[in-house]
Structure 1
Amino acid sequence: MTSARKRKKPEDSVLGIHKRKGIWQDGLARVMGPELLERWGIAEDAEASRVREIVLLRLSRVLKQFPITELHLIVWTAYNLGAASPEEESGVVRRLERLVDEGGVECSFRTCARRFNDTFLPAVVRSLSAEQSAITDEDLAMASRWLAANVRPDAPQPAAGGLSSAIRGLRAPMEPVLKMFLDGPVHGPADRDGVPLTAKLGARGEWLCVFTGEGLLAGYRESTGAGWPRIGRWTGRDVVRMAAGRIFPTGILIDPSPALGAGADATLPLPPEEIARLAREC
């Protein structure tokens, strides 16, 4: 049996990476087998974290040949990257079903499965016959950060000097920060119609909670175990208009902390009176 596994072609072995827990599955190197490890430049005795880093980089390089569309989200969901609970033993079918059920994509499960199986996987197999590009220490460090945060490589991240950084240092002028918020993308929990969900904070009233990056939202969701019907993506301007259009006075919390009373320096509250002002200018 051992001999038979060692002779398994890389083209066959690569088709097992998305199964079970995907990239997080135990014994990933064993699933891949010696020939695929060698093809991708992974030492047989490499630590599990290093195996995941290189696998993630190889898959990412194949995916780069496709425009950033729903396919990217489908692929990383299939490999279990960016999931709220990567350790959950759900399997690729359930992961894609959940993606569809939560409104993450606008296509059916059957279409998701077809795009992954008939579009992406053949591209991965074809890539094995080409010369494998070098992987640098910088590449590995980047993959390590993606894995540590459990975020997709193509997920928008707050850049240095971006909105998240500006919020953390509100000694900066307020108007430029607000302009960055209004013009930029934000992510947040939404109902099945794509409308942002409100959080009732007792005497503080009702608030819409949004995040300046998918990584921040994923971290919040993992810390709190929140189960939202779907995730929405809007501009800050859209969220202001929706907050202003509600019957009850509603504020917006940008980058709320999952720990009560902690991380307030990284959270920007826009109270209802500020929302009313911004709405008049939108």
Structure 2
Amino acid sequence: MASTSKREKPENAVHRVHARNGLWQDGLARALGPELRRIWGIADDAEPGRVREIVLVRLNRVLVGLNRPEMPAIVWAAYNVGVSSPGEESGSVERLNRLIEEGGVKRSFRTCTRRLDEFLQAVKDGLSAVQEPITDEELGWAARKLAENSRHDAPEPAGLSAAIRRLRAPVEPVLKMFLDDTVHGPADGDGVPLTAKLGAGGEWFCVFTEERLLAGYRESTGANWPRTERWAGRDVVRTAAGRIFPTGVLINPSPVAGTGIDATLPLPPDEIARLAREC
């Protein structure tokens, strides 16, 4: 029997894109909903980074068409993109207030919200028009802009990221955080973590505690992974421990060899085997 439930209008879903953590929110594809994803040409199985890039391109096309001098600063602050963004655990109201306080625009909060409403209306009006395919050049621009955001507008590390920075050796509370937290990383076509060979160090899964760190690494290195995924830390450990070849897990690797060691946590194969017995 066909479902009688009504599908949400894509115009309504537009308002969720700048909510919470904007383009960096977890579950962005889910927030868009199936109709808006279809209109914007986002595959249901698109990786989170690609979803973010396509949305950024779609929004930028509308923004360019409006041609308002103060609009870009207001829009990108609202969507949490660019140097004016305060980072995670914020909302568009907080981001706009910060933009004003820091002198990013010489407008009142009321004026900024009117400009944002004008932009949102333009986005919704454009949904009925033919959506031209997105080019590789546009995707490249979006990837660079998002990676720049993740590098230069990064919030102070918190949670597992901060705990790793304070470490000189793995300790049980931090390892428990890793097992319980979600991490992000490159995956093969089946969604299994990809291995990297680190010279004499053998094979490793490279994972990241925050998706923005993964995006920055990919942009800096030009990595061409089939896809990216997120997993519970304990699932990464179980997968690594179940491989034929001894496999370690490297958390938050730096894109530049020899740097960023204080923010990286290596879990060698023997440590992975021990953790797997406790999972």
Q: TM-score range by the shorter chain?
A: 0.5 to 0.7
Corresponding residue of 1:137: 97
Structure 1 residue 104, shift from structure 2 partner: 1.7
| CA deviation profile, 1:200-242 (whole Å, cap 9, x unmatched) | 1121100000000000000000000101111111010000000
Residues 49-128 of structure 1 mapped to structure 2, 5 A cutoff: 60-61=18-19, 68=27, 70-72=29-31, 93=41, 96=42, 100=45, 103-104=46-47
SS at match of 1:60: coil
CA shift for structure 1 position 72 = 3.6
Check whether the contact 1:57–1:139 (CA below 8 A) recurs between aligned residues. Answer: no
Aligned residues: 179
Paired residue for 1:194, among 191, 195, 198?
Answer: 191
**Which of 141, 152, 159 is matched with 1:162 structurally?**
159
Q: Which residue of 1 aligns with 2:125?
A: none
Q: Report the counterpart of residue 263 of structure 1 in structure 2.
A: 260
Query: Is the CA contact 2:241–2:276 (under 8 Å) kept in the aligned structure 1?
Result: yes
What is the aligned partner in structure 1 of residue 238 from structure 2? Answer: 241
Counterpart of 1:182? Answer: 179
**2:194 is matched by which residue type in structure 1?**
L
1:252 match: secondary structure = strand
Q: Please state if 1:222 is matched with 2:182.
A: no
8 A Cα contact 2:204 2:249, kept in partner: yes
Shift of 1:160: 4.8
Whether the aligned pair in 1 keeps the contact of 2:182 and 2:233 (CA below 8 Å) is yes
Contact 2:147/2:216 (<8 A) preserved = no
Secondary structure at the counterpart of residue 163 of structure 2: helix
Letter in 1 for 2:176: K
CA RMSD of aligned residues (A): 4.4
Find the aligned partners of 1:242 and 1:257 in 2 and give their Cα distance: 23
Partner Cα distance (1:270, 1:170) in 2: 13
The alpha-carbon deviation at position 161 of structure 1 amounts to: 3.9
Q: Distance in 2 between matches of 1:141 and 1:173?
A: 41
Residues 139 and 71 (structure 1), Cα distance of their counterparts in 2 relative to 1, 3 Å cut: farther
Question: Residue 187 of structure 2 contacts residue 194 of structure 2 at CA under 8 Å; is this kept in 1?
Answer: yes
- Identity among equivalent positions (%) equals 59
CA offset digits 1:177-220 (Å, max 9, x no partner)? 10110000000000010000000112110000000000000000
Distance 1:219 1:74, change over 3 A: farther
> Residue 212 of structure 1: which of 192, 209, 228 is its match?
209
1:273 to 2:270 alignment: yes
Partner SS, residue 228 of structure 2: strand
Retained in 2: the 8 A contact 1:166–1:172?
Answer: no
Aligned amino acid, residue 175 of structure 2: L
TM-score with structure 1 setting the length? 0.52
Cα contact 1:252–1:271 (8 A) shared by 2? yes
Unaligned runs of 5+ in 1: 1-14, 16-55, 79-91, 117-132, 152-156
Q: Deviations over 1:97-132 (max 9, x none)?
A: 6x85xx427xxx9xx99xx9xxxxxxxxxxxxxxxx
What pairs with 1:143-154 in structure 2 (closer than 5 Å)? 149-150=148-149
User: Structure 2: how far apart are the matches of 1:148 and 1:60?
Assistant: 18
The residue type equivalent to 1:169 in the other structure is: R
Q: CA deviation at 1:274?
A: 0.2
Partner residue in 2 for 1:47: none
Structure 1 186/203 Cα, relative in aligned 2: closer, same or farther at 3 Å? same
